[in-house]
A and B are shown apart, each in its own frame.
Chain A
Amino acid sequence: MIGDLHILRQHVLLAGRLFLNYGAVLAATWMAGTLLATLLMMLAVEIGFTNRLAGLIALVPVILLQLVLFVAMFVILRDGLPVLRFRARRHRDAPVPEEGAAETHMGIGMLAAALLAVLIPFYGYYAGWGLLGNTLRDYSKTFLATSMERIEFSDTPTERAPTALEVDSTLWVVAAVLLIWAIRRGAKAMHKRNEAGIWPLLVVACEASWAVLGLYVISSWQTSFVEWLAQLPSPGELWRNLLPPASAEVVNAATRPADWPPVFQPGPWLTALFWYALLPLIWFNLGAIVYGHDLNLMSEETQRSAGRVLERWRALPKPLRDFIGHFWVGLVKRWHAVANGVLLAGSAGFALTVSVLVLWRLADWAGRWVWVGLAELIGPRDLPVWQVVQYPLNLLFGAPGQPQDGVVVCVMQFCILAAGLELAGRAQAATAAPAPRA
């Protein structure tokens, strides 16, 4: 219990120190990202006015920017984390004979490598949490608002113009995917030739656009599939057709007045709590992947057992090895980082995990109440005034009822996560240290 409180105290102190030392830099970075995202969204809408599919593809930088921002926040914070910074440096200084060593150099190459590592899990989370849908919805909203601003009442077209997300046909999406594939191939070839850090970023951009297009196409197919499924009669309906109920159900409105609170149900309550607690843990794991991509966390034991597999692998004929290796290396490089990240997050321990979760949610909760408090302070004003005043409030503390993206709250949350990862790294180092002696 005392140890748990000690961990909590350490976590709060470290997060506070990170906030004091790096808060301003992080806030400026976050605001720059927000500004750039606003501009890119406006650009995508402008492109969307001329061609709907091109507008959708122009949305890729907006989505990519969110990934870059996410990674950049963690990379900036790394300087304040002694254990993780030391490990990263040690790993970088060590001679790395494998291919891809160039990617672990400082600067833009390092950022690109971190981006590549976190790309798939991030977009998995991004799509799974409905944030991709959110971005598409924001695009739709901006598109509609802009077209309403430019509407010409005296000159209305006879045909209805397609809405923001109405793409002409799936064929064009396929064409776009092929074009992006060609760009990606070119970027890979260029990277092999001169090894500049910009080419991996272009590859990431191409893969992100694939993810967006793929998810968009799948979601549209899913909708039509669900629609097709919905018009079929349900099993219950079929059953009722065969065996109609004996008598009508008696509904008595007096048994439950409308203003009674619903009965407490532990099942749904626990489910809601689970999802509420899951989000900070997902972020924690994503952060661990960012730090894990160039950490040499492979333990002695794992290397020993992997060594046997490697010997057999080397015994294979070279053309076969090259053929499999070509596909395998890229995958392994990424999932190695993911595994490292999960290991790092997993070594946090129960107390630290709870601390991360509660502090992360506490920052969110406090931000929401600061919004409400400031709104009370500003007082009742008429609608045009509040339409303007809400903007800085939302940018600082997040819009009420929306996913949290307020700069103050997000910076605090990143500090909490990074502090948690640093403490997890320390715990990992502490358990690893006595092992060779034994």
Chain B
Amino acid sequence: MKHLVWIILAMLLLLATVAIGALTDITDLRRAREWNITQAGQAGAELHGVHVRVAQVWAATAPSRPERAVIVVRLALRSNEAARQAWIGCDVSLSDGSGRVWRPLQTANTDGAIKAISPDGESKGRCTPVPYNAPPEGQEILSDQLFLVPADLLKGAKLRVSALGTRPDGLEFPITPAVRALQ
């Protein structure tokens, strides 16, 4: 019994030392992940004062590579500037619900690929809450993300949106893209 008290005391002291010593790293870890996910629907949802909506989702597959697909997600953000500034960046990712996560492609060909896949032939650029050509207040800021994923994600995937200033809070949207077969 006496031993147990000492062991518990040692554990408590260990926890306290970890909490004090690793405070910065624990804060970093809290900021690194979306620990507190809010499910959002088609109409979108509010995240730290910014309204987020998935405007469009397109996907394409090539006959030569049937196991792969590219998905383009068009996001729309709407808010006043102060709230957008507080976001500090914008991070978008796709997940399959079993822990696998894909980040958007950022290559020299990304812009061209988005223009080829989107029906309007435009690329709105990557997601940023404070673009240099921000539209007037009240209008939506559009952005396009390109993902290269396995084809089974076309049946259904989850899109997560968060930012350094919002984490551990994040939004999750279920997406089912409209597939185009490239010739």
Contact = CB atoms under 8 A, between A and B. Distances in A.
A35 B13 contact: yes
A28 interface: yes
- Give chain B's interface secondary structure class: helix
Given A25-B6, A38-B20, A32 B25 contact: no
B25 A391 contact: yes
A392 B18 contact: yes
A391 B18 contact: yes
Interface string A4-28: 0000000000000000000011011
Contacts of B14: 31, 392, 395-396, 407
B105 interface: no
Contacts of A385: 29
Given A384-B29, A384-B32, A391-B25, A31 B17 contact: yes
Interface in A353-397: 382, 384-385, 387-388, 391-392, 395-396
A149 B33 CA distance: 20
Interface in B17-39: 17-18, 20-22, 24-26, 28-29, 32-33
A387 B21 contact: no
A171 B111 CA distance: 65
A24 B20 contact: no
B13 A388 contact: no
A347 interface: no
Given A27-B7, A384-B32, A395 B17 contact: yes
Interface of B: 3-4, 6-7, 9-10, 13-14, 16-18, 20-22, 24-26, 28-29, 32-33
Interface of A: 24-25, 27-28, 30-32, 34-35, 38-39, 42, 145, 149, 382, 384-385, 387-388, 391-392, 395-396, 407
18 contacts: A24-B10, A28-B9, A28-B10, A28-B13, A30-B10, A34-B17, A38-B21, A42-B20, A384-B25, A384-B28, A384-B32, A385-B29, A387-B22, A388-B22, A388-B26, A388-B29, A391-B22, A407-B14
